[in-house]
Structure 1
């Protein structure tokens, strides 16, 4: 099912008539609306020269976590590790920042531009342990396409 979204993601991101922010928003909305266990989808980006992430476009419930220090929570850990982080059960993570009591699992995939980790896509799910390697590969594809328009 995820593979069928690839052409839609590529089409949205290649629409240069739209702003980058609008294209990223459209991708977030597409993913949240198309994958039943993607309950919150958003991008975080490195905040200038600061050791923190700043919330970019997202689809889902509003979050108070608009700034995340490097090292804090799953997103902050990925900013330092440069590696995918799949959390099957958020309650088992000591360094987890709860966005909502309904969130059961999370996946965060770093976004690279010219070899530098400049941000990430973050997905929260209200379903326990739904993420597979297929999700990882698909979200890596999404980030690769996103990096081409940044």
Structure 2
């Protein structure tokens, strides 16, 4: 399924207000992970309510991770929490500040999620494919985050 074809599917999942937000986020993660061959792990991190200098994993699809809490500045996700900028990593081995989640991960993309102009979290994608992410992925994930922000 193409990125564009997934947009209405994501909207349907997110619009189902009868389902808890965390479950809807997990369903979006599953939808992306199952339909985009190079999205091997998909997760949403949000600012930790207990410590506003950390990210906390709220929903994901893929292999379980030990990285459920990430300090600001640490790893790709932690850097995005500080920079407020998209971060596309074509080769994770080339990053000094990379937190290894799996020996199979070759690339990562992290897109910040904004609510009322404030960075409140992010979507994180790990890929077992080297350098798979394009500008189309960035725009698609920005779209996903915009739709997510509308239900928060």
TM-score norm. by structure 1 comes to: 0.99
Q: Partners of 1:94 and 1:114 in 2: how far apart?
A: 32
Which residue does the alignment assign to 1:114? 116
Cα displacement (A) at 1:146: 0.2
Runs of 4+ in 1 over 3 A off after TM superposition: none
* 2:65 aligned residue (57, 63, 66): 63
Which residue does the alignment assign to 1:24? 25
Q: Partners of 1:65 and 1:104 in 2: how far apart?
A: 17
Which residue does the alignment assign to 2:55? 53
Matched, 1:42 2:43: yes
Unaligned runs of 5+ in 2: none
Q: Partners of 1:65 and 1:138 in 2: how far apart?
A: 25
Q: Partners of 1:50 and 1:114 in 2: how far apart?
A: 17
Note the alpha carbon deviations across 1:73-119, whole angstroms, 9 max, x for none.
Answer: 00000000000000000000000000000000000000000000000
Unaligned runs of 5+ in 1: none
Which residue does the alignment assign to 1:100? 102
TM-score norm. by structure 2 comes to: 0.98
Which residue does the alignment assign to 1:129? 131
Residue correspondences, number: 150
